[in-house]
Structure 1
Amino acid sequence: MKKVIIIGSGAGGATVAKELQGKFQVTLIEAGGSFKPFGLNLPFLEHLRSANIFLTEKMIPLVFPPYRISKTKDHMTLVNAVGIGGTTTLTCGNALRVDAGLKKIGIELDQEFSELHHEITISADHEHLWRGATRRLYEICAAEGLNPFPIPKAGHYRKCRNCGHCTLGCSYGVKWDASIFVSQAVKKGAVVIDHCVVKKIYIKNNRATGISTNHGLLTADLVIVAAGGFNTPVILENSGIKTDKTLFVDPVLCVAVEYTDALQNKEISMPFAVQMDGYIISPYFDQLSFFFNKKWRIPGKDILSLLIKLADTEKGTPKNKILTDKDRQKLDQGVNQCKKIFSKLGVNPDNAFLGTLNAGHPGGMLPLTPDEAGSFHNPRLPENVYVADASLFPSSLGNPPMLTIMALAKRISNIILMKH
């Protein structure tokens, strides 16, 4: 049986592992370890904020090791996660189909999305969990003609306890994450090597022979890189494979107001969304801003926040990502729209305060083109190397990408099974 190495256990890597194990012998490489939800007492930590103990976001990995934090030159916080399941363990559980950019270059993934809906419980039936303030925001957006819609979630949300910790890991087994696919692959015989950092791919005569890691050399007949939009380009460049300087990160900026007993900090994250031109708006309690942004020093239960998630310009690299003037203008439009919504709620928009600009959905540095719509294989890659993550997206999504990455990974798995 041929040996396959898959680098990364997030949405893409876990999906490929599940699909290929049994036809190939899969070894799944993960830089982190087993994921554990955040276990410290948040009310106690909220009490400590007044002592200014939380000085910088870079302190987060000290208390929550899965998080990885860096800063761009213009002070945007970049976030991703390591550990079994990748960043899916820290998502809001959103399961949106966001493939308009792929369709433009001739890629149709109907079959793959259909399969995922059969394999994962996906439902938008969670309005019973919404707080009163969220319901009012939804009504206002509807009345303004913004066409809000409940966001489909992956998981068993009838069991949700409204703890508000979605982005810190679900302690109650409600939210789906990619570790479930990893477990399924392992049951079929896949091997997981954790705490294993990949340095580069060994290539000879346009074929990969293995990978260099902190565990030494690992050999394979096929290598699939799914280390995420920040890390996959680094591995490829270290291997002598050129990537494009077209990184997008889907920046997030929250606009918040003081609203007594909003209780958004005890509610599912991103319960509904409004699709705008180049960005979305969604209710979201931003833990990052709450603990590290001094403007957010009021009690968590009294903060009501709307998230702006931007489809930013595809420009830059992980070490040099900046937002363009157009991106900043779009964010300003989003801020004004959020303030308008809050004004309809009866809150003075002049009292709104902004969160910390951050981003955690990177991709786009090896974008698919119409020429690769059938092969999903960039000609720069060795013939037995594939990429299976958001690096393949031809344009920024401005939307949660998890389900679409998994659909891509399914198609790539099918191509591999047919060709190899």
Structure 2
Amino acid sequence: MKRVIVVGSGAGGAAAAEKLQGKFQVTVLEAGREFKPFSFSLSVLEKLKKTGLFFDEREIQLIFPSMRVQKTENKMVMVSGTGLGGTTTLSAGNALRMDSGLKELGIDLDDEFDELYRQIPITNDHQNKWSDATKRLFEICREMDLNPQPIPKLGDYERCTNCGRCVLGCPSGVKWDSRQFLKAAFDKGAKLVTKCKVLKVIIENGSVKGVQAQKGSNVIFYPAELVILAAGGFSTPVILQNSDIECESRLFVDPVLCVAAKQKGSLQNKEFSMPFAVQREHYILSPYFDYLSFFFNKSWRYPAPDTLTLMIKLADSSTGSVDHKSIKKTLTGIDKERLQEGVELCKEILSRYGIRKDCFFLGTINAGHPGGMLPLTREEAKTLHNSRLPGNLYVADATLFPKSLGNPPILTIMALAKKISKIIMA
């Protein structure tokens, strides 16, 4: 049986491993360790916050090792998951189909989405779990003809306890994440190596022979007949570049900016993340409690239960890059204009809620949906394989997206990874 190495255990890697195990012998290499939900008491951390000890977002890794925070040269905050399940464990659990850009290239993922809908419990009816504040925001958006829609969720939200910790790792197992696909793959015989950071792909005579990885203090060669890179939009391009495979400076990151206000008893910190969304041409709006801003942005000085926020998630320009040293990403003029448009719309919504416009404050711009540095083209619609790659090397994550979705990408990444796996099996 041919050996396949899958690099990364997030959305793309787990979907590929689950699909391929059986026809191939799959080994999943994960740079992080077993995932554990955030366990600290938020009330204790709020007290620590008042001491001024929290001053840099990268400190979050000291209390929550599964969340990795990096900063660009101009100090934009970049967030990713490092651990089994990748960023899916830290996501809001959104199940949005966002493949219009791929369809424009001639890539049909209908069968793969249908397969995902059969495999994963997806909840669309969760309004009975919404707080009064969320219900009121939803009604205001309807009154403004913004067409708000509940966001489909990965998991069984009837069991949701409204702890507000979706993006810190669901402690009650309500939210589905890619570890469920990994378990299915392991039950069929797949192997797993954690705390194993892949450095580069080993290529000889135009063919991949395996990968070189750092495991503790040792550098180990893992042989394979086929390699799938699904380490995420920040890490996959670095592995490719370390392997002398050129990427494009087309990094997008889906920047997030929250508009917040003091609203006593809003209890948004006890709401599950992103219950509904307003879709605009270049961004979405959604209720979202931003923990990074709450702990590290000095403007966020009110107690968590009294802070009401709306999030803007932007489909940013594809102008950036990442290498083994740093992430280079700046917002373009048009990005800033669109963000400001979103800010004004959020202020209008919150004003109708009853909050004075001079009471608003902004969050820290942060981002966590990177991709785009090896974008698919129309010529690759059938193979899903870039010509720069050896024939037995594939990429199966958001690195392939031709442009920013400006929306949660998990379901679309998994559908693309399944399609790639079918091509490999064929």
Residue 336 of structure 2 corresponds to 328
Residue 25 of structure 2 corresponds to 25
Asked if the contact 1:228–1:362 (Cα under 8 Å) also holds between the matched residues in 2, the reply is: yes
Deviation at 1:19, TM superposition (A): 0.3
C-alpha deviations, 1:343-395, integer Å up to 9, x for none?
11111122110001000000000000000000000000000000000000001
Residue 277 of structure 2 corresponds to 273
Deviation at 1:224, TM superposition (A): 0.3
Counterpart among 387, 393, 407 of residue 415 in structure 2? 407
Specify the SS of the correspondent of 2:328: coil
Specify the SS of the correspondent of 1:218: strand
Counterpart among 256, 264, 267 of residue 263 in structure 1? 267
- Alignment pair present for 1:295 and 2:299: yes
Deviation at 1:73, TM superposition (A): 2.4
Counterpart among 317, 342, 366 of residue 358 in structure 1? 366
Residue 208 of structure 2 corresponds to 208
C-alpha deviations, 1:270-329, integer Å up to 9, x for none?
000000120000000000001101111101000000000000000111221111011000
Residue 117 of structure 2 corresponds to 117
Residue 100 of structure 2 corresponds to 100
Counterpart among 337, 348, 354 of residue 346 in structure 1? 354
CA–CA distance in structure 2, aligned partners of residues 273 and 143 of structure 1 = 15
- Alignment pair present for 1:376 and 2:384: yes
Specify the SS of the correspondent of 1:211: strand
Letter in 1 for 2:281: D
Asked if the contact 1:71–1:78 (Cα under 8 Å) also holds between the matched residues in 2, the reply is: yes
The unaligned stretches of length 5 or more in structure 2 are none
Deviation at 1:65, TM superposition (A): 0.7
Deviation at 1:341, TM superposition (A): 0.4
Letter in 2 for 1:183: K
Residue 180 of structure 1 corresponds to 180
Mean Cα deviation higher: 397-406 or 44-53:
44-53
CA–CA distance in structure 2, aligned partners of residues 49 and 35 of structure 1 = 25
Q: How many residues align?
A: 418
With the length of structure 1 as denominator, give the TM-score of the two structures: 0.99
- Alignment pair present for 1:127 and 2:135: no
- Alignment pair present for 1:13 and 2:13: yes
Residue 318 of structure 2 corresponds to 314
CA–CA distance in structure 1, aligned partners of residues 261 and 245 of structure 2 = 47
Deviation at 1:124, TM superposition (A): 1.3
CA–CA distance in structure 2, aligned partners of residues 288 and 109 of structure 1 = 35
Specify the SS of the correspondent of 1:210: strand
Mean Cα deviation higher: 340-349 or 10-19:
340-349
Specify the SS of the correspondent of 1:296: coil
C-alpha deviations, 1:231-286, integer Å up to 9, x for none?
00000000011100000000000000111100000010000000012000000000
C-alpha deviations, 1:379-415, integer Å up to 9, x for none?
0000000000000000100000000000000000000
Letter in 1 for 2:173: G
Specify the SS of the correspondent of 2:375: coil
Counterpart among 389, 392, 406 of residue 397 in structure 2? 389
CA–CA distance in structure 2, aligned partners of residues 214 and 34 of structure 1 = 17
CA–CA distance in structure 2, aligned partners of residues 256 and 106 of structure 1 = 41
Asked if the contact 1:49–1:297 (Cα under 8 Å) also holds between the matched residues in 2, the reply is: no
Specify the SS of the correspondent of 2:320: coil
Alignment of 1:231-242 (within 5 A): 231-242=235-246
C-alpha deviations, 1:122-157, integer Å up to 9, x for none?
011111111111101000000100000000000010
Deviation at 1:75, TM superposition (A): 2.1
CA–CA distance in structure 2, aligned partners of residues 386 and 221 of structure 1 = 12
Task: Provide the identity percentage.
Answer: 57
- Alignment pair present for 1:226 and 2:230: yes
Letter in 1 for 2:284: I
Deviation at 1:101, TM superposition (A): 0.6
Specify the SS of the correspondent of 2:208: strand
Specify the SS of the correspondent of 1:103: helix
Letter in 2 for 1:195: K
Asked if the contact 1:388–1:408 (Cα under 8 Å) also holds between the matched residues in 2, the reply is: yes
- Name segments (4+ residues, structure 1) moved above 2 Å: none
CA–CA distance in structure 2, aligned partners of residues 156 and 52 of structure 1 = 39
Mean Cα deviation higher: 51-60 or 327-336:
51-60
Residue 168 of structure 2 corresponds to 168
Letter in 2 for 1:30: E
CA–CA distance in structure 2, aligned partners of residues 161 and 343 of structure 1 = 30
Letter in 1 for 2:98: V
Specify the SS of the correspondent of 1:203: strand
CA RMSD of aligned residues (A): 0.7
CA–CA distance in structure 1, aligned partners of residues 379 and 312 of structure 2 = 33
- Alignment pair present for 1:337 and 2:345: yes
CA–CA distance in structure 1, aligned partners of residues 152 and 359 of structure 2 = 32
Deviation at 1:417, TM superposition (A): 0.2
- Alignment pair present for 1:74 and 2:79: no
With the length of structure 2 as denominator, give the TM-score of the two structures: 0.97
Residue 64 of structure 1 corresponds to 64
CA–CA distance in structure 1, aligned partners of residues 57 and 351 of structure 2 = 31
CA–CA distance in structure 2, aligned partners of residues 250 and 358 of structure 1 = 9
